[in-house]
């Protein structure tokens, strides 16, 4: 069965702080995604990747960087965190990225920026 | 750009009631349509998909029919249970842009 793990599960930082969220998938999927989830907005795509070293910009990329170091690992970086980035973050993976494939989600990381 | 609209933000039902959650979309081309379910403390889980007009997707007693004419993909279940309480997301996938667009979600609460 598909497995996507995220760490940490909870994170509290201060405004201006530096945060890295980690995601690992063991599905051998090519595509990985970072979303943020906020009440009233559903899930919004931040960045995605279709392989190691590749990065594509999503719909809400401002203030976020991402890096895909291997097929398994995808990181989300907040270099100067702001309170507006307080949210629940989900990582997902899929076998194909053509918009037709099922996505497998991790359990989420709750980030609070004070 | 592509968009998905879920009309109901919250739905409250009693067990054995009939469920309808409305989903309408706007997209170029011929998108695939999805339903996901999210239980408390978990990430969303794929429920089912439909990729052509009049195709019905179904899983766990839930179903939806792709209707290109009305640009809809409404989720239905004949008899809900308390265990169905969750947030339901309608999503659209388009080959033109390699990603999904999610609706805002509908929170379903089923009272025993």
Q: Which residue of A has its CA nearest to B88?
A: A42
Grade residue B2 by pLDDT with cuts at 50, 70 and 90: confident
CA atoms lying within 13 Å on the CB side of residue B14: 0
Angstrom distance (rounded) from CA A23 to CA B106: 27
Instruction: Tell me the chain B residues in contact with residue A90 when contact means C-beta distances shorter than 8 Å.
Output: 43-44
Per-residue model confidence as pLDDT tens digits over B52-67? 999 999 999 999 999 9
pLDDT of residue A1: 59
Instruction: Please tell me which residue, A70 or B95, carries the higher pLDDT value.
Output: A70
Residue B99 is predicted with a pLDDT of 66
- List of chain A residues whose C-beta atoms are within 8 Å of the C-beta of residue B31: 99
Region A40-68 average pLDDT: 93
B-chain CB neighbours of A30 within 8 Å are none
Distance from the Cα of B47 to chain A's closest Cα (Å) equals 9
Average per-residue pLDDT in chain B?
94
Q: What is the pLDDT of residue B3?
A: 92
Residue B34: closest CA among A105, A75, A76, A2: A105
Q: Of A40, A47, A49, whose CA–CA distance to A76 is shortest?
A: A47
Residue B30's pLDDT is 83
> Is B94's Cβ below 8 Å from some Cβ in A?
yes
**Across A91-102, average pLDDT:** 84
Indicate whether A39 pLDDT > 90.
no
Give the residue from B3, B4, B11 showing the smallest Cα distance to B106.
B11
Q: Tell me what percent of the residues of chain B surpass a pLDDT of 90.
A: 87
- Sheet bearing B62-65, strands edge to edge: B19-21, B75-77, B62-65, B56-59
With CB atoms and an 8 Å threshold, state whether A98 touches B98.
yes
Give the pLDDT of residue A18: 96
Q: Which residue's entry shows tokens 């809400």?
A: A60
- Region A32-47 average pLDDT: 92
Q: Is the pLDDT of residue B70 over 80?
A: yes
Smallest CA–CA distance, residue B61 to chain A, in Å, is 19
């Amino acid at each position: 069965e598909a497995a996507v793990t995220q760490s940490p599960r909870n994170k509290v930082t201060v405004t201006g702080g530096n945060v890295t969220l980690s995601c690992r998938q063991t599905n051998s999927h090519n595509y990985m995604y970072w979303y943020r989830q906020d009440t009233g907005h559903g899930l919004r795509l931040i960045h995605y990747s279709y392989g190691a070293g590749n990065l594509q910009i999503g719909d809400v990329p401002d203030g976020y960087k991402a890096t895909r170091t291997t097929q398994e690992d995808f990181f989300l970086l907040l270099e100067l965190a702001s309170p507006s980035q307080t949210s629940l973050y989900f990582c997902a993976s899929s076998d194909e990225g053509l918009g037709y494939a099922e996505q497998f989600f991790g359990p989420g990381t709750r980030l609070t920026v004070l | 750009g592509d968009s998905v609209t879920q009309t109901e933000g919250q739905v409250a039902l009693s067990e054995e009631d009939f469920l309808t959650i409305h989903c309408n979309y706007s997209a170029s081309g011929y998108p695939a349509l999805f339903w996901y379910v999210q239980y408390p403390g978990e990430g969303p889980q794929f429920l089912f998909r439909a990729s052509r007009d009049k195709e019905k997707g179904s899983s766990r007693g839930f179903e939806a029919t792709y209707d290109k004419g009305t640009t809809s993909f409404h989720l239905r279940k004949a008899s809900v249970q308390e265990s169905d309480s969750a947030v339901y997301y309608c999503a659209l996938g388009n080959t033109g842009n390699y990603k999904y667009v999610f609706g805002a979600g509908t929170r379903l609460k089923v009272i025993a």
